[in-house]
Amino acid sequence: MRKPRFTEEFLWKLYEFLERMGDIHDNMFSRTSLKDTLNTEWRKLRHTYERKHRKRSFSQFVSYLKSRGYIKIPEGEGVSFPQLTKRGKQKALAGRAKTTEWPVRKDGKMIMVMYDIPKQRAQVRHAFRDRLEFLDYQMFQESVWVSDKDVVEETEQAMREYGLESCVDLFIIKKIRVQK
């Protein structure tokens, strides 16, 4: 079974379709100002300008994603789909991190992660650090991170995913307050 080609051309067709749907929605449901109602010429000019601006913004966005290495769109005769690169996946995870709320540990203890990842694996170290930030860890020292969130399983999964079992130590710690 042959899959359809999903290229930049398809992205433009999808964009144009969504634009038309937006036009239909605007015509049916939008509230227009008195100025737009009385002066249809003005409304058409404004609408044309906004449409060109959105199209340019979309084009710039796709170019930005490609130039930053977040997506790649393979060229050629075969089936090709826009693909998220490793860097794109990391960026998507970082964006998701801002919206994820992790539960606080009920026992009042904290998780401490200590790692010593070799320089040859700098990209993995950077990705692991990003994952720790996503899991709401706070940097305590250069390679020591702590969290009061209940993310032990997610941390272990990240260690396995990046193949860092031998480079990372995971501790459950208790914070002790000294009495005066």
Confidence (pLDDT) at 37: 62
Least confident window among 29-38, 61-70, 147-156: 29-38
Confidence (pLDDT) at 90: 74
How many CB atoms neighbour CB 94 within 10 A? 13
- DSSP structure class, residue 77: S
**pTM score above 0.85:** no
More confident residue, 158 or 175: 158
Cα 79 from Cα 56, distance rounded (Å): 27
Closest CA to 136 of 101, 108, 86, 84: 101
Cα 141 from Cα 135, distance rounded (Å): 17
- Nearby residues of 11 by Cβ (< 8 Å), 6 or more positions away: 62, 82
Helix axes 40-67 and 8-29, enclosed angle (nearest 10):
150
User: Is the pLDDT score of 152 beyond 80?
Assistant: yes
Confidence (pLDDT) at 81: 65
More confident residue, 147 or 32: 147
Domains in the chain: boundaries: 8-84, 87-173
User: Is the pLDDT score of 93 beyond 80?
Assistant: no
- Nearby residues of 65 by Cβ (< 8 Å), 6 or more positions away: 71, 88
CATH fold for the domain made of 87-173: Alpha-Beta Plaits (3.30.70)
Q: How confident is residue 24, by pLDDT bands cut at 50, 70 and 90?
A: low
